[in-house]
Amino acid sequence: MKLVVNSLISSIPQIFNVMLVNFLFYYIFAILALQLLSGKTSFCEVEDIYSIKDKKECLAKGHTWKIPDNNYDTLAQALMTMFEVSTLEMWPDIMYAALDASNTVDGSPVLNNRPWIALLFVSFLFITSFVVLNMFISVIIQKFQAESQKLNGLSALSDTQREWIRVQRFMASVSPITKPKEPEAKWRLVFYNTVQTKCFENTLTTMILLNVLCLCAEFYGASKLYLKWLDRINLFFVFFFTLEAVMKMIGMGLTFYFHVRENIFDFIIVVFSLLGLSSYMIPVNITVFRLIRVTRLLRVISKSRHIKRLLKTLYNSLANLVNVFFLYCLIVFVFTLTGIAMFGESKTTSDAINDNANFRDFYTGAMVLVRISTGESWNDIMHGYFVQGSYNAGVKLFFLSYMFLTFFIFINVLVAVIFEEHE
């Protein structure tokens, strides 16, 4: 926890510099959007918005002239719109609305009136979302590595000393390869030689993959004959893997067999598979026992050296990932209480605010913030709490600060944690 917190605190100056660079591009593109689209994205609230010529005709016919939430009428609003575009959430809708912008102020939209405006949005996305915002990752990774070395006492060491420590740690993590003792009994020697062959291992791997495919072959509406044959095939696999376990026990001996973790894992799956054969012996749903056999696929994955390295990286970074998760939960907790205080009594009629997206209670509010962390329709929810005729500074500050902390900072902290362990 200390490592994660210290890395975040120490990276604040660099994050601030990245924010300034990012804001510079936001400002440039917001100015361009202000000059090109100010007052030209509004529309008349009718069924066919292209049928009205301008604001004057709209009001004359008794309709309402609507200013969209994403507009470019002021520099602040243009900056807000460009920030929403940079998060990649609902940006095509914002771009296509700009393509339909009128040529005159207070004019109605014209379908595909300005197709060249798309270049403005594409270039903005490339510079901000694909280039500048990724600078957050490099900053956080750099600070996380520096704090990790400082915490481990490596910051005062030379490169040669660090390399020596790395080699020593690698040597300490290497475990000797244990091999089973060759049995003296000739009848056991047959099983011993069989399970040691490469052909046996390849056959076992093939059968595991086929078993998983058969488990994936079930579908809703299948005929009884189809399911009957599928059960017979699965029964064959159960007996095959049971035979494999018995052959290894005889050939290697019980002591060595249960000394290897992979064998213990396989034995547990075989036991559950045998228990799942009869619904009369088990008082619970036997589907659970059948699904356990899918985990046998993990053994095939473990045979790959590169995949094992990635899995080991995830395992070694688990402690820091848990710390990041707890910090994330703390942020969600604080913002949920703030959201309940700000929006708990809101009377908004927006479609975005419904039974599954609101701050009327703690659970729903927390789930909304988790959803916003992924970027899913966060700006739609924010617009749902806007009050017409108000600048909505409090609403914008709440959602923008939360998006910055979670979407731009904590997601990159996860990358830094895993990258550090991978290195």
**pTM score:** 0.72
Task: From 75, 77, 87, 99, select the one nearest 130 (Cα to Cα).
Answer: 87
Q: Lowest-confidence range among 187-196, 307-316, 360-369?
A: 307-316
| Neighbouring C-alpha atoms within 13 Å toward the C-beta of 390 | 10
**In the predicted model, what is the mean pLDDT of residues 98-110?**
91
- Between the CA of residue 4 and those of 19, 263, 412, 416, what are the distances in Å? 21, 38, 12, 10
| Neighbouring C-alpha atoms within 13 Å toward the C-beta of 237 | 25
**In the predicted model, what is the mean pLDDT of residues 210-235?**
86
User: What confidence category does residue 157 fall into, taking pLDDT thresholds of 50, 70 and 90?
Assistant: low
**In the predicted model, what is the mean pLDDT of residues 99-115?**
91
Higher pLDDT pick, 315 / 222: 222
Q: Write out the two tokens for 266.
A: 């396989």
The share of the chain scoring above pLDDT 70, in percent, equals 83
pLDDT (tens digit per residue) in 206-220 = 888 888 888 788 888
| Residue 129: per-residue pLDDT | 83
The share of the chain scoring above pLDDT 90, in percent, equals 25
What span, in angstroms and rounded, lies between the C-alpha atoms of 215 and 224? Answer: 16
Higher pLDDT pick, 211 / 144: 211
**In the predicted model, what is the mean pLDDT of residues 151-155?**
59
What span, in angstroms and rounded, lies between the C-alpha atoms of 405 and 411? Answer: 9
pLDDT of 367 > 90? The answer is yes
Domains of the chain, CATH where assigned = 2-137 (1.10.287.70), 186-303 (1.20.120.350), 316-422 (1.10.287.70)
pLDDT (tens digit per residue) in 158-176 = 667 667 766 766 665 556 6
**In the predicted model, what is the mean pLDDT of residues 40-52?**
89
- Between the CA of residue 38 and those of 5, 84, 189, 198, 387, what are the distances in Å? 43, 17, 86, 72, 21
| Residue 97: per-residue pLDDT | 92
Best mean pLDDT range from 139-143, 160-164, 283-287, 374-378: 374-378
| Residue 183: per-residue pLDDT | 81
Count of C-beta atoms within a 10 Å radius of residue 365: 22
What span, in angstroms and rounded, lies between the C-alpha atoms of 372 and 406? Answer: 9
User: What confidence category does residue 37 fall into, taking pLDDT thresholds of 50, 70 and 90?
Assistant: very high
pLDDT of 286 > 60? The answer is no
**In the predicted model, what is the mean pLDDT of residues 108-114?**
90
Task: From 355, 353, 346, 358, select the one nearest 390 (Cα to Cα).
Answer: 346
Q: Which amino acid is at 168?
A: Q
Q: Which amino acid is at 148?
A: S
| Residue 280: per-residue pLDDT | 44
Contact between residue 292 and residue 285 where contact means Cβ atoms under 8 Å apart: no
